[in-house]
Structure 1
Amino acid sequence: MIYDEFQRQVGKAGLTLTEFAALIRMNRASISNLSGKGRVPAHLAIMACLMAEMAEHGIDFRSPLFALDIVAKKPRGGAAKGRFGGDQQTDLCT
Structure 2
Amino acid sequence: MTEEQFRRHVRQLARLRGWTLTYHTHNSRRSDPGWPDEVFGHTSTQRTLFVELKTDTGRIRPAQREWLKHLAACGLETALWRPKDLPLIVATLAPDGPRAQITDRL
Q: Same fold (TM over 0.5)?
A: no
- Which TM-score tier does this pair reach, normalised by the shorter chain? 0.3 to 0.5
The structure that is helix-richer by fraction is 1
Larger RCO (CA within 8 A; separation ≥ 6): 1
Structure index of larger Rg = 1
Q: Normalising by the residue count of structure 2, what TM-score does the alignment of the two structures yield? A: 0.31
The structure that is strand-richer by fraction is 2
Q: Normalising by the residue count of structure 1, what TM-score does the alignment of the two structures yield? A: 0.34
